[in-house]
Each structure stands twice: as structure tokens, then as C-alpha cells.
């Protein structure tokens, strides 16, 4: 009898130790607020979800959903309500919640749809696959490809433009790649072109990469960065609407366009 | 010998089969594309006809409800027509002219529905109506060749490669150009916008290439002593600028600086970013403010920060007037590395020529509780200057509102501070 009680106590402590080991206090010392991105935000969202304040995706992006959740938490716990996560907020949150870092990171790296609510076994809160599938109900998905974009653009726009930039200008300097992305966005603002990024890219004869199928090559990170910079306002083309390679262009019309500058192999014009 | 002939026969047979299969597949693809183009052409023709009828019908009514219905039809049909036209392989010149002209009709319809200025609409559309009729006739003539039901794909491949002067759409293109100029001349606000965009109005003293490099090194000390290649913009460029390309160690980048006044338009530098994260969000803010001060941008305020895998993108707007309103069209963007906070990019194209703002525009308070439905929470009210649909710069309220329902859908709403017209509603992630 004594032996079985002793064994039970050891087992209980063992289990507790395993659980505590998995529960990592990983917040870094930095103050985070809206606009932040990364592991600290993943922990923040997971902890807020554990205690029911956050219902959105655990994707590491400190957007408005996370912001309101932080404010509500701060209000409930008698903290300054500013949506900024400093030492005080972190301490209260760590004391009030749990965070299963390894489990959360595993779900993210596997692209699973998952939540991290307290009171429900974690095993029941995950579904395989669905990366990028959106979903609802606060399910997180693989965030490897997640980026923060200006509100008027979507990740689909980013992907499509990155394909176009990679297909059209992968051998060009970075400046030239940003310029190609900027031309697509300039067309979006111009009354002479269609109204959506997709229509602009797939407009017949608009881009060589569409005609020769190179748009379907998998873009690299550099092409994505170039698109991201263009979406954030950079325009090395200086407001160009067209570009062409002077060594291969045969259309008299394109040569008649007023030219602005040359970057690498491309002349940019309007 | 026999074996060689045997092998050769098999090879010829295999080649023949392969050629036959390829031709079959090619034909099938051509037929599929031919069908798609014919569908788009038919759609475009039908929409053009509907648009012409709707414009004509809009001239019938004075009754507000009946007219607004037609205006809505015109706006919708113009968008559908633009979509069909843009999916046809016409040459750029013809497509652009169509998109511009029909887009203007749609915009005008929407603006009239918003403003209620029906008299101007009727006056303007009398001319547009006649011109649309002419265009419609010419379009029918130009496209008749595509309806001969012969499935000849070469017609499409030819039209795609022909210059406008040799194209069956030559008359349509030339009329569209002239109708665009007469029916929709640039308005004052559009001209202003265009002028700003073109930076033609700069009258500052011209600087030399060396001075341009000095200017760059002042703003970005990290590129000091880089290897530079400096060229000037092409002769046709609407405003002259120096195009400076630099290489320093692993850093490669460029900067465009205006010849008149030496204003930096944009700068970008590329280098490998390490995994180390030695700067936090507050430090990024501090670094941004310091470098803005060093560059002489003393009237800017951070309005948005976005962290991504390698860098921070920071958006700033000019602060103007006694009420410290944010002038969004006079924005500056910064890009800072996450490993060290190094300045990787600066974009100040819109900031170079400042907008003329009307500080005397009335600001009439809004009761947000009655403006929004119950259950909507409003935070962060600010005054900003932004362009409305008529491209007029207006002082507006900007509020962030969200539903108090646990889902927290969040919106940025911009409302004209004087008229209380809603200028913009943006869903915030």
C-alpha cells in the first residue's frame, strides 16, 4: 500500500515535470505592439487564446485582432490599457495562462489548422493540413509564407506578382525587380489598364512571362521581397507604365513611348 | 542493312506519331483560345451595345430614381466592358484607349450618382452618346471578320502583332483618342495630381552628380566611399534625376535624386540579413526618428509599422496645421533591417512636392454613436488630409472602428470633416 502511494507520487511529479518543461516562458525582453511579427507574437496570441481573449489565427502577426485582445486583457487585469505588451502585461499574462511552445511550433511548421484554448486537450484542437486555407474559428495555419502587407493588397496579389517578377526579371538587379513590380502597381492606378492585379498580369500580350509560361516558375524570396517593397511604396521605375528589352523589342509602338530610365536590360517608359 | 531500315522505319513512324500528336494538341489549344477570344469579343460587343443604350436612356429621365438606376447600369456595364476588352489580344494602344474612354464614362456615372449633379451629366452625355454610336458602328465593321465561323486562329495571332496603323481597329483607335480628349478633358484636380506625380514644377537650383552623391551619403552614411555609377534620366523623363547605383561590400543598391534641388526620390539597398535580432520595435522607432532628423524631414509622424521576415517597413505622413492633421499624400516610407536597424530603403517621391492644403476647411464634429450602428466601438480619432473620389484633397476624420462581438472585425473609416461624406472604408487585418 505504502509502496503504491509512493509510486503514485513519483508518477505525479514526473508528469508535472514533463508538463512544466513543455511550458516554456519564452517571451523575449522586447516591448511588442501592433505591427510586430514573429515568435513573441505567436506566444502572445497563444497565451491570450488559452484564456479566451484571442479568437483569431495564431500566425505571429500583431494585427488589430491581437491588439483588441491585448487591450481587453489589460482592462480585465487592471493594467494600463494601451495595446502595448511590455513587462507588466507579459508578467500578468504568463501567470494567467499556459503556452505549449513546442506543440504550437510543431503545428505551425506542419501547416496544421489548430487552436490553443485552455480546458480542451490540445490533441483535440488540431487538424492536419490546410496551410493557407484560411479557415475560421481562430484556427492558426502554417505561417512560413505569411507576410504583413499594406491593407489594400492580399497574399494572393503578392504571390501572383512574385511569379510575374520572377518570370520577367529574375536575372535583373534587385532594383530592376522592384521596378517591374512597381509597373504592375502603376498600371493598377492608371485608367488605361484593367482594375485588378490578376487582369493586369494576364492581359494578353502584356507580359512575355505569361506568353512563354515562365510565370509558372516558382519565385524565390528575392522576387517576393521586391514585390513587398513595391507594395510598400518604392518605385525605381519613376512612375513607368511599360518596360522593354531594347535588344529584343520589335514593336515600333513600344519604341515610341517616352523613356524614363534604364535598369539592367530593361528600359522603363510611360 | 535490313535491321537499319527496320530501325529507321520505326524511328520515322515514332516521329510521325509524335508530330501528329503535337499538331493535334496544338490545334486543340488554338481552338480553346479561339473560343475564349470569340466569347470575350461577343461579350465586349454586347456590353458596348448595352452601354450605348443605357447612356441614351439616361438622357430620357429627370426623375431621380429612374436616372440613378441607369447610372448604376452604366457604371456596372462599363466595368464589364473593360474586363472583356482587356482579355482580348488587341495591341496596347487600342486596348488602352478603350479602357480609358469607357472607364471615364463609368466614373462619371458614379460621380453623378454621388453628387446628384444630373444637369452636367445630361450636358456631357449628349456628345458621348453620339460618339458611342459611331464607335459601336466602327467596332461592328472592325470585328465582322472574326465572325466568319471558320475557326481561323491566324486572324487573332495577326491582330495581336499588327501595329495600329495596319490593324482593322485603326479607325476605332483614332476616334477613341479624339473623343477622350473632347469628352473628358483633364479636370483641374487631375492636372494637379498629374503635375505632382510628374514633379515638373520643381524650380530649385540644379545640383551636380557629386553633390547628389554627397546628399545620398548625408542621409545614408553607411554607403560612404561606395563604388558609384551615376547616370542621368532619359531625355523624355518628365523630371530630370540622377540615377546612382552603388556597391559597397555586400551592399548593392540605388538612389534616384532630382537634378533640381537634389531631393531624394527613392533609395534601396540590398544585403544579406542575418538571423540575429538586435533591435526591438522601440529602437526601430528611435532609429527612424533620428535619421529623419538627419535628413531634414522635420514634419513627419509614423503612421504604420509592419515587421516582416527580414525588415521593418515604416509609413510616415506629414503633419500640418494647428490641428496637426496628417497629410497622407505627402508620405515617406522607410525600410530598416531587423538584424541591426540599418536603413535599407527610403521612398520620398510623394513628399518632394507638398500638397496645397486648405487649412480653413470647416471641421464639423460627428457623433459616432449615431453615425455607426450600436455595437460598434470607435477608437483613435484623427484628422487627416486625403483625396476623395474627385481627387480633391479634403480634411477628413479618420477613425478605427470595430465590432464588439468577440470577432473584432476592424475598419479604418475616413469621413469628410465638413460634409460628413464617407470617403473610404478599409478592412484592417
- Minimum-distance CB partner of A174 among B86, B231, B252: B252
B26 assigned to some structural domain: yes
pLDDT band for A3, please (50, 70, 90 cuts).
low
- Minimum-distance CB partner of B234 among A55, A65, A259: A259
User: Alpha-carbon distance B13 to B20, whole Å?
Assistant: 10
Closest CA in chain B for residue A240:
B237
A265 assigned to some structural domain: yes
Closest CA in chain B for residue A137:
B407
Instruction: Write out the E strands in B89-226.
Output: none
The last residue of one of the domains, among A107, A127, A147, is A127
| Range of lowest pLDDT (B21-30, B395-404, B419-428) | B21-30
User: Alpha-carbon distance B132 to B125, whole Å?
Assistant: 10
CA distance A265 to chain B (A): 15
Contact A37 B253 (CB under 8 A): no
Residues of A in contact with B347 (CB under 8 A): 232-235
Model pLDDT for residues A114-135, shown as the tens digit of each residue: 999 998 999 999 988 654 433 3
Do the bridges between strand B376-387 and strand B325-337 make them parallel or antiparallel, or are there none, so unpaired? parallel
- Minimum-distance CB partner of A205 among B89, B164, B235: B89
- Minimum-distance CB partner of A236 among B88, B254, B313: B254
Contact A236 B268 (CB under 8 A): yes
Contact A229 B280 (CB under 8 A): no
pLDDT of residue B362: 92
Do the bridges between strand A113-114 and strand B264-270 make them parallel or antiparallel, or are there none, so unpaired? unpaired
Identify the helix (H) or strand (E) that includes residue B106.
Answer: helix B92-115
Is A25 a residue whose pLDDT tops 80? Answer: no
CA distance B418 to chain A (A): 26
User: A199-224 burial string, b = 16+ CB within 10 Å, else e?
Assistant: bbbbbbbbbebbeeebbeeebeeebb
- Whether the Cβ atoms of residue B108 and residue B88 lie closer than 8 Å to each other: no
| Range of lowest pLDDT (A50-59, A147-156, B9-18, B387-396) | B387-396
- Whether the Cβ atoms of residue A172 and residue A263 lie closer than 8 Å to each other: yes
| Same domain (yes/no): A218, A116 | no
A244: domain CATH number? 1.10.10.2520
pTM: 0.85
Domain count, chain A: 2
Is A71 a residue whose pLDDT tops 70? Answer: yes
Closest CA in chain A for residue B377:
A68
pLDDT band for A7, please (50, 70, 90 cuts).
low
Contact B345 A38 (CB under 8 A): no
Contact B335 A204 (CB under 8 A): no
| Number of Cβ within a 10 Å radius of residue B226 | 20
Which of B419, B374, B377 minimizes the C-alpha distance to B397? B419
pLDDT band for B90, please (50, 70, 90 cuts).
confident
Mean pLDDT value across residues A186-202: 92
| Same domain (yes/no): B18, B165 | yes
The residue segments making up the domain with residue B419 are 368-428
Q: What is the DSSP letter of B373?
A: P
| Same domain (yes/no): A159, A195 | yes
Q: Please give the full DSSP string across B178-243, using - where no structure is assigned.
A: HHHHHHSPPPHHHHHHHHHHHTTT--PPB--HHHHHHHHHHH-GGGTT-EEEEEE--TT-SS-EEE
pLDDT of residue A13: 46
Closest CA in chain A for residue B401:
A64
Contact A260 B236 (CB under 8 A): yes
CA distance readout (Å), B2 to A103, B7, B9, B15, B16 = 70, 9, 10, 20, 21
Cβ neighbourhood burial of A264 (10 Å; 0-12, 13-18, 19+)? middle
- Minimum-distance CB partner of B280 among A30, A191, A232: A30
| Same domain (yes/no): A122, A159 | no
A11 assigned to some structural domain: no
User: Alpha-carbon distance A43 to B210, whole Å?
Assistant: 50
Give the phi and the psi of residue A42 in degrees, each rounded to 5: -60, -45
pLDDT of residue B193: 47
A8 assigned to some structural domain: no
The residue segments making up the domain with residue A258 are 155-269
Model pLDDT for residues A95-106, shown as the tens digit of each residue: 999 999 999 999
Closest CA in chain B for residue A49:
B406
For B134-147, give the secondary structure using H, E and C.
HHHHHHHHHHHHHH
B149 assigned to some structural domain: yes
| Same domain (yes/no): B255, B404 | no
User: Alpha-carbon distance B93 to B160, whole Å?
Assistant: 11
User: Alpha-carbon distance B50 to A82, whole Å?
Assistant: 54
Contact B307 A36 (CB under 8 A): yes
Mean pLDDT value across residues A193-207: 92
Mean pLDDT value across residues B141-164: 77
Percent of chain B having pLDDT more than 70? 97
CA distance A152 to chain B (A): 8
User: Alpha-carbon distance A129 to A111, whole Å?
Assistant: 6
Residues of B in contact with A85 (CB under 8 A): none
Which of A242, A202, A196, A214 minimizes the C-alpha distance to B88? A202
- For cell 436612356, name the residue: B57
pLDDT band for B78, please (50, 70, 90 cuts).
very high
Instruction: Give which of B43, B160, B193, B281 to mutate to test A binding, by max A Cβ within 10 Å.
Output: B281
pLDDT band for A137, please (50, 70, 90 cuts).
very low
| Same domain (yes/no): B403, B274 | no
Mean pLDDT value across residues B15-32: 86
A84 assigned to some structural domain: yes
Contact B412 A151 (CB under 8 A): yes
pLDDT of residue B173: 87
| Same domain (yes/no): B344, B373 | no
Side-chain-side CA neighbours of A230 within 13 Å: the count stands at: 33
| Range of lowest pLDDT (A147-161, A219-233, B250-264, B378-392) | B378-392
- Whether the Cβ atoms of residue B94 and residue B138 lie closer than 8 Å to each other: no
Instruction: Give the three cell numbers for residue A182.
Output: 512597381
| Same domain (yes/no): B124, B225 | no
Residues of B in contact with A261 (CB under 8 A): 231, 233-234, 237, 243, 256
Is A165 a residue whose pLDDT tops 60? Answer: yes
| Same domain (yes/no): A107, A159 | no
End-to-end CA gap in chain B: 75
CA distance B67 to chain A (A): 25
ipTM of the complex: 0.86
Torsion angle of C-alpha atoms B349, B350, B353, B356, degrees rounded to 10 = 180
Which of B323, B331, B334, B424 minimizes the C-alpha distance to B383? B323
Is B269 a residue whose pLDDT tops 80? Answer: yes
| Same domain (yes/no): A29, A120 | yes
Mean pLDDT value across residues B328-354: 92
Partners of residue B422 on adjacent β-strands: B415
- Whether the Cβ atoms of residue B415 and residue B421 lie closer than 8 Å to each other: yes
CA distance A129 to chain B (A): 23
Is A14 a residue whose pLDDT tops 70? Answer: no
Domain count, chain B: 3
User: Alpha-carbon distance A183 to A270, whole Å?
Assistant: 10
Mean pLDDT value across residues B94-112: 91
Instruction: Give the three cell numbers for residue A90.
Output: 507579459
pLDDT of residue B241: 94
Top pLDDT among A27 and B53 is at B53
Q: Which residues contact residue A193 at a Cβ distance below 8 angstroms, ignoring those fewer than 6 apart? A: A187, A200, A203, A241, B86, B96, B99
pLDDT band for A143, please (50, 70, 90 cuts).
very low
| Same domain (yes/no): B340, B386 | no
Q: Which residues contact residue B305 at a Cβ distance below 8 angstroms, ignoring those fewer than 6 apart? A: A34, A35, A36, B281, B284, B285, B312, B313, B314, B315
Instruction: Give which of B85, B86, B98, B311 to mutate to test A binding, by max A Cβ within 10 Å.
Output: B86
- Whether the Cβ atoms of residue B404 and residue B392 lie closer than 8 Å to each other: no
A39: domain CATH number? 1.10.101.10
User: Alpha-carbon distance A260 to B243, whole Å?
Assistant: 11
Is B34 a residue whose pLDDT tops 50? Answer: yes
The last residue of one of the domains, among A91, A110, A127, is A127
Residues of A in contact with B165 (CB under 8 A): none
A14 assigned to some structural domain: no
| Number of Cβ within a 10 Å radius of residue B270 | 21
Instruction: Write out the E strands in A42-160.
Output: 113-114, 126-127
B127 assigned to some structural domain: yes
CA distance B66 to chain A (A): 28
User: B104-134 burial string, b = 16+ CB within 10 Å, else e?
Assistant: bbbbbbbbbbeeeebeebbeebeebbebbee
| Number of Cβ within a 10 Å radius of residue B44 | 24
User: Alpha-carbon distance B214 to B220, whole Å?
Assistant: 10
Model pLDDT for residues B289-329, shown as the tens digit of each residue: 999 998 889 999 999 999 998 999 999 999 998 899 999 98
Model pLDDT for residues A216-258, shown as the tens digit of each residue: 999 999 999 999 999 999 999 999 999 999 998 888 888 999 9
Handedness of CA A132, A138, A140, A146 (dihedral sign): positive
- Minimum-distance CB partner of B82 among A174, A194, A229: A194
Tell me the pLDDT of chain B averaged across its residues: 88
Mean pLDDT value across residues B422-426: 92
Amino acid at each position: 500500500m505504502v509502496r503504491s502511494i509512493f509510486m503514485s507520487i513519483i508518477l505525479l511529479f514526473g508528469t508535472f515535470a514533463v508538463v512544466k518543461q513543455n511550458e516554456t516562458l519564452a517571451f523575449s525582453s522586447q516591448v511588442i505592439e501592433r505591427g510586430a511579427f514573429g515568435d513573441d507574437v505567436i506566444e502572445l496570441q497563444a497565451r491570450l487564446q488559452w484564456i479566451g481573449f484571442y479568437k483569431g489565427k495564431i500566425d505571429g502577426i500583431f494585427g488589430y485582432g491581437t491588439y483588441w485582445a491585448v487591450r481587453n486583457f489589460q482592462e480585465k487585469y487592471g493594467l494600463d490599457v494601451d495595446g502595448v505588451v511590455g513587462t507588466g502585461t507579459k508578467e500578468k499574462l504568463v501567470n494567467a495562462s499556459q503556452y505549449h511552445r513546442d506543440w504550437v511550433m510543431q503545428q505551425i511548421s506542419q501547416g496544421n489548422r489548430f487552436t490553443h484554448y485552455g480546458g480542451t486537450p490540445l490533441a483535440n484542437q488540431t487538424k492536419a493540413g490546410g496551410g493557407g486555407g484560411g479557415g475560421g474559428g481562430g484556427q492558426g495555419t502554417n505561417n512560413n509564407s505569411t507576410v504583413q502587407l499594406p491593407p489594400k493588397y492580399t497574399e494572393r496579389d503578392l504571390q501572383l506578382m512574385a511569379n510575374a517578377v520572377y518570370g520577367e526579371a529574375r536575372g535583373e538587379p534587385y532594383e530592376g525587380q522592384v521596378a517591374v513590380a512597381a509597373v504592375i502597381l502603376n498600371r493598377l492606378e492608371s485608367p488605361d489598364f484593367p482594375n485588378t492585379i490578376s487582369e493586369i498580369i494576364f492581359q494578353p500580350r502584356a507580359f512575355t512571362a505569361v506568353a512563354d509560361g515562365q510565370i509558372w516558375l516558382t519565385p524565390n524570396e528575392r522576387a517576393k521581397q521586391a514585390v513587398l517593397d513595391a507594395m510598400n511604396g518604392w518605385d525605381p521605375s519613376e512612375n513607368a507604365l511599360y518596360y522593354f528589352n531594347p535588344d529584343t523589342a520589335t514593336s515600333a509602338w513600344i519604341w515610341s513611348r517616352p523613356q524614363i530610365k534604364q535598369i539592367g536590360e530593361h528600359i522603363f517608359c510611360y | 542493312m535490313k535491321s537499319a531500315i527496320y530501325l529507321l522505319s520505326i524511328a520515322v513512324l515514332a516521329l510521325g506519331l509524335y508530330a501528329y500528336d503535337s499538331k493535334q494538341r496544338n490545334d486543340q489549344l488554338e481552338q480553346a483560345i479561339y473560343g475564349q477570344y470569340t466569347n470575350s469579343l461577343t461579350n465586349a460587343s454586347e456590353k458596348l451595345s448595352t452601354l450605348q443604350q443605357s447612356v441614351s436612356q439616361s438622357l430620357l429621365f429627370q426623375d431621380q430614381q429612374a436616372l440613378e438606376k441607369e447610372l448604376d447600369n452604366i457604371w456596372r456595364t462599363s466595368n464589364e466592358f473593360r474586363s472583356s476588352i482587356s482579355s482580348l489580344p488587341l495591341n496596347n494602344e487600342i486596348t488602352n484607349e478603350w479602357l480609358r474612354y469607357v472607364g471615364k464614362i463609368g466614373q462619371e456615372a458614379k460621380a453623378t450618382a454621388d453628387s446628384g449633379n444630373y444637369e452636367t451629366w445630361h450636358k456631357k452625355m449628349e456628345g458621348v452618346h453620339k460618339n458611342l454610336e459611331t464607335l459601336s458602328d466602327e467596332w461592328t465593321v472592325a470585328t465582322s471578320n472574326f465572325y466568319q465561323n471558320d475557326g481561323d486562329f491566324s486572324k487573332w495571332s495577326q491582330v495581336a502583332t499588327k501595329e495600329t496603323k495596319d490593324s482593322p481597329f485603326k479607325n476605332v483607335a483614332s476616334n477613341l483618342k479624339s473623343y477622350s480628349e473632347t469628352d473628358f478633358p483633364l479636370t483641374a484636380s487631375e492636372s494637379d495630381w498629374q503635375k505632382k506625380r510628374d514633379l515638373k514644377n520643381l524650380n530649385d537650383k540644379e545640383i551636380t552628380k557629386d553633390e547628389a552623391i554627397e546628399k545620398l551619403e548625408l542621409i545614408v552614411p553607411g554607403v560612404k566611399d561606395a563604388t558609384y555609377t551615376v547616370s542621368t534620366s532619359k531625355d523624355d523623363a518628365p523630371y530630370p534625376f540622377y540615377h546612382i547605383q552603388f556597391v559597397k561590400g555586400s551592399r548593392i543598391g540605388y538612389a534616384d535624386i532630382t537634378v533640381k534641388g537634389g531631393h531624394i526620390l527613392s533609395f534601396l539597398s540590398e544585403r544579406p540579413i542575418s538571423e540575429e535580432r538586435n533591435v526591438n520595435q522601440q529602437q526601430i522607432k528611435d532609429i527612424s526618428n533620428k535619421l529623419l532628423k538627419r535628413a531634414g524631414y522635420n514634419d513627419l509622424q509614423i503612421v504604420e509599422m509592419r515587421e516582416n521576415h527580414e525588415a521593418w517597413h515604416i509609413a510616415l505622413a506629414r503633419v500640418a496645421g494647428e490641428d496637426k492633421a496628417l497629410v497622407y499624400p505627402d508620405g515617406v516610407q522607410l525600410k530598416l533591417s531587423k538584424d541591426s536597424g540599418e536603413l535599407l530603403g527610403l521612398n520620398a517621391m510623394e513628399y518632394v512636392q507638398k500638397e496645397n492644403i486648405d487649412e480653413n476647411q470647416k471641421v464639423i464634429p460627428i457623433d459616432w454613436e449615431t453615425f455607426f450602428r450600436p455595437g460598434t466601438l470607435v477608437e483613435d480619432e484623427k484628422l487627416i488630409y486625403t483625396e476623395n473620389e474627385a481627387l480633391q484633397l479634403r480634411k477628413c476624420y479618420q477613425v478605427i472602428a470595430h465590432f464588439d462581438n468577440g470577432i473584432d472585425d476592424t475598419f479604418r473609416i475616413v469621413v469628410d470633416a465638413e460634409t460628413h461624406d464617407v470617403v473610404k472604408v478599409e478592412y484592417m487585418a
